[in-house]
Amino acid sequence: MQKGGTPIKKLTALLALLALCLLAAPAAFADGVEVKYLDKDGTEQTCPSATVVTKEVTTWTDTTDAHGWYVVNSTVEIGTAADPIPVTVEGDVRLILADNASLTVNGGILVNEGNSITIYAQERGTGALTATGGIFSAGIGGGYKGSGGDVTATGGHRGPRGGGRGHPLAQPRGPAR
């Protein structure tokens, strides 16, 4: 007998290992990472289950296992200037920009009427979002000849709601739309 078994036994063992990995994969890669964020009052909250945004996640919906919660926790770029890919928001979506994370969407974030997105920061408020719309489309909002839905950005404690840099004495001056 050959050392390590026959080729058939090796193939059978390999297929069994592959099958075991495939059965375990849904649990390992399922939606649902726990993540902290700051609510509109600057109070730290915990989202028990958020979908991690990757360049492949281009439809954000509140019907996922994570119920509309998404988190950017690394550097992610969706689409390119030469090949823009929009992200479509369906329902009431909440996006958390983790500290030191960056999301660039070349193609815009489409939030058509009847849908909404709320963007949250983490404690240090160092997450970044850049959304560049496609032809005739908003960076965040309605698409070509469409009407936009609600867009709400929530800054960190004493930070700006819609971009820029915060100041220790900064106070919000009304709704960010």
List pLDDT tens digits, range 18-27: 444 444 333 3
- Contact between 120 and 39 under an 8 Å Cβ cutoff? The reply is yes
Quick one: pLDDT at residue 155? Answer: 58
- Contact between 98 and 71 under an 8 Å Cβ cutoff? The reply is yes
Q: Which residue has the tokens 């193609």?
A: 107
In this predicted structure, which of 72-81, 84-93, 153-162, 164-173 has the lowest mean pLDDT? 164-173
Average pLDDT over residues 19-36: 55
- Contact between 118 and 152 under an 8 Å Cβ cutoff? The reply is yes
What φ, ψ does residue 81 adopt, rounded to 5°?
-60, -40
Q: Is the pTM of this model over 0.85?
A: no
